[in-house]
Amino acid sequence: MDGMVLALFLFATFAGGVVTGLAGFALGLVVSGVWLHILTPIQTAILMVGYGLVSQSLGMWKLRRALRWRAVAPFIVGGALCVPIGALGVPIGAALLAHVEPAYLRDGVGVLLVLYSIYGLARPALKPVAAGVPADAGVGFLNGLLGGMTGLGGIVVTIWCQLHGWPQDRQRATFQPVLFATTLTTAISLAVVGAVTAQNVKLYLLGLPLMLAGTWTGLKLYGRLNEAGFRRVVLLLLLASGVSLLAPPVLARTM
């Protein structure tokens, strides 16, 4: 890895840490645009998972007083049923992917995210949604399903927390443990299939100080956000997620 490539890798790592510390998610959205140009897809996946465990752990520690494990459990249990879809290819995942055209799925989810984000940014606030444990478990299931099929494992539960109208600390204290559980399961899956090599570990350790510094910076910035500011940051990142899903197919059709 020459000097320019190393600089790009470290810059993306720091930027990913800042955004994750600030919003609690979107690490992959920030780093993949750079890493996929200089690293292999498997290296990108391993580093995103490894750094995700670090950033989510720090975020949960920061919000430990707001954590309500009984409230988080339904999301984790529901999501656990779908976590293996992308990593292990269980029958339900194979059945779904056999009947769903990936390009249509990306376009559909991308359009929904863009419309929801624009609508949310145009309106000061939405009327809070009230729901119980079964609905939370269903959202966890959909969150894992979408994560397995598109790589956006925290989008559904993040939107759900916003729709509840919860304070920003409670939102993060809900979706961050869900993201951590999903990331941990993926990390175990990658380790089992032998994807974690000495070279990948060396690269991980090289960027770890920048990830820690970026996450620390993001958490400091988060402490300065009010409720309205946090809501705008989340909506803008959801908008960027939607655009990222729509961009590859659009570019492919225009080439």
> Over the stretch 216-230, which tens digit does the pLDDT of each residue have?
999 998 888 888 888
* Res 51: pLDDT: 93
* Res 62: pLDDT: 86
**What is the separation, in whole angstroms, between the first and last Cα of the chain?**
30
DSSP symbols for 140-179: HHHHHHHHHHHS-TTHHHHHHHHHHT--HHHHHHHHHHHH
Q: Any idea what the Cα angle at residue 26 is, between residues 127 and 89, rounded to 5°?
A: 100
Q: How many CB atoms lie within 10 A of CB 202?
A: 9
Per-residue pLDDT band for 205 (boundaries 50, 70, 90) equals very high
Q: Average pLDDT in the 182-194 region? A: 76
> Over the stretch 159-173, which tens digit does the pLDDT of each residue have?
888 787 778 888 888
How far apart, in whole angstroms, are the C-alpha atoms of residue 86 and residue 50?
17
- Which class for 125: exposed (0-12), middle (13-18), buried (19 or more C-beta within 10 A)? exposed
Q: How many CB atoms lie within 10 A of CB 229?
A: 13
113 φ, ψ to 5°?
Answer: -65, -40
What are the structural domain ranges in the chain? 3-254
Residue type, 218: G
Burial readout 99-114 (b: 16 or more C-beta within 10 A, e: otherwise): eeeeeebbeebbeebb
- Whether this prediction's pTM lies above 0.85 is answered by no
> Over the stretch 30-47, which tens digit does the pLDDT of each residue have?
887 788 788 887 788 889
Looking at the predicted structure, is the pLDDT value of residue 4 above 50? yes
Give percent above pLDDT 90 in the chain.
13
Looking at the predicted structure, is the pLDDT value of residue 63 above 50? yes
